[in-house]
Amino acid sequence: MKVIETKDITYEYPDGTKALEKVNFMAEEGKIVALLGPNGAGKSTLFLHFNGILRPSSGAVVIDGENVNYNKKELMKIRQKVGIVFQNPDDQLFAPTVVEDVAFGPMNMGLPKDEVESRVKEALSRVGMEGFEKKPPHHLSGGQKKRVAIAGILAMKPKIMVLDEPTSGLDPKGASQILRLLYQLNTEGMTIVISTHDVDLVPIYASKVYIISEGKIIKQGTASEVFEDV
């Protein structure tokens, strides 16, 4: 079952920058899929199509077998299904405290207060951030901010989690902790889509790897297929 599929999507920013050209990308349910490419290649732009933040200039985005419908109500549904963790946690964390930040998503879903509380607790524990509930997110280190941003998405229990460069800027220990968490979530059934500009640990975990350059997918396959001639 394909949970994310883009069909020939092209995207041009309002200023005329052509960021994606006829991109065909697919993530199968329950897999880890990695998107590799240098800075500026179009990784963030592609990911922003997966929950309707961006709408392709041409082509189609299919989530869970349905073409994305860009009305407000349908977008809400997609955003509960596809959780995106942005590259820069400062784009995501804006509440005065960690606990309020992580509670924001599940509260917006209209869940009862005790359910929100238990989800927040579980999410903070999964990312190893218990004890930081009352801290303002901007007082945290880069790695801690990333973990809180991930917790905020986890608390919504999305079917698919999309992470834009989740290991960038982290030390090797922080990066491997995050990768281990993602691997664990995947073994529990979550589909994971992850981008990186480093040929780091990411591809080892991925069952499928795409390489993007200047807005085009230039290679795809298993990690060993993609890297055989590098």
Given the rule CB under 6 A, which residues bind ligand ADP?
13, 15, 17, 19, 37, 39-45, 87
- The closest of 102, 48, 58, 103 to 79, measured between CA atoms, is 48
Taking the complex as a whole, the smallest distance from the CB of residue 51 to ligand ADP amounts, in Å, to 15
Q: Residue 117 and residue 106: Cα distance in Å, rounded? A: 9
Task: Dump the DSSP string for 161-200.
Answer: EEESSTTTT--HHHHHHHHHHHHHHHHTT-EEEEEESS-S
Q: Report the residue number, 19 or 148, with the smaller CB distance to ligand ADP.
A: 19
Alpha-helix runs per DSSP H in the chain: 43-47, 72-81, 98-108, 113-126, 142-154, 172-187, 202-205, 223-227
Taking the complex as a whole, the smallest distance from the CB of residue 24 to ligand ADP amounts, in Å, to 17
Q: Report the residue number, 74 or 214, with the smaller CB distance to ligand ADP.
A: 214
Taking the complex as a whole, the smallest distance from the CB of residue 127 to ligand ADP amounts, in Å, to 21
Q: Report the residue number, 41 or 103, with the smaller CB distance to ligand ADP.
A: 41
Do the Cβ atoms of 120 and 155 come closer than 8 Å? yes
Q: Residue 203 and residue 200: Cα distance in Å, rounded? A: 7
Taking the complex as a whole, the smallest distance from the CB of residue 41 to ligand ADP amounts, in Å, to 4
Do the Cβ atoms of 152 and 92 come closer than 8 Å? yes
Taking the complex as a whole, the smallest distance from the CB of residue 47 to ligand ADP amounts, in Å, to 8
Q: Report the residue number, 52 or 106, with the smaller CB distance to ligand ADP.
A: 52
Q: Report the residue number, 45 or 167, with the smaller CB distance to ligand ADP.
A: 45
Q: Report the residue number, 42 or 106, with the smaller CB distance to ligand ADP.
A: 42
Taking the complex as a whole, the smallest distance from the CB of residue 39 to ligand ADP amounts, in Å, to 4
Q: Report the residue number, 13 or 70, with the smaller CB distance to ligand ADP.
A: 13
Residue 8's alpha-carbon distances to 12, 31, 154, in angstroms, are 13, 22, 30
Please, is 4 exposed, middle or buried when counting C-beta atoms within 10 Å of its C-beta (0-12, 13-18, 19+)? buried
Structure token pair of residue 182: 């993602």
Taking the complex as a whole, the smallest distance from the CB of residue 152 to ligand ADP amounts, in Å, to 18
Q: Residue 138 and residue 95: Cα distance in Å, rounded? A: 10
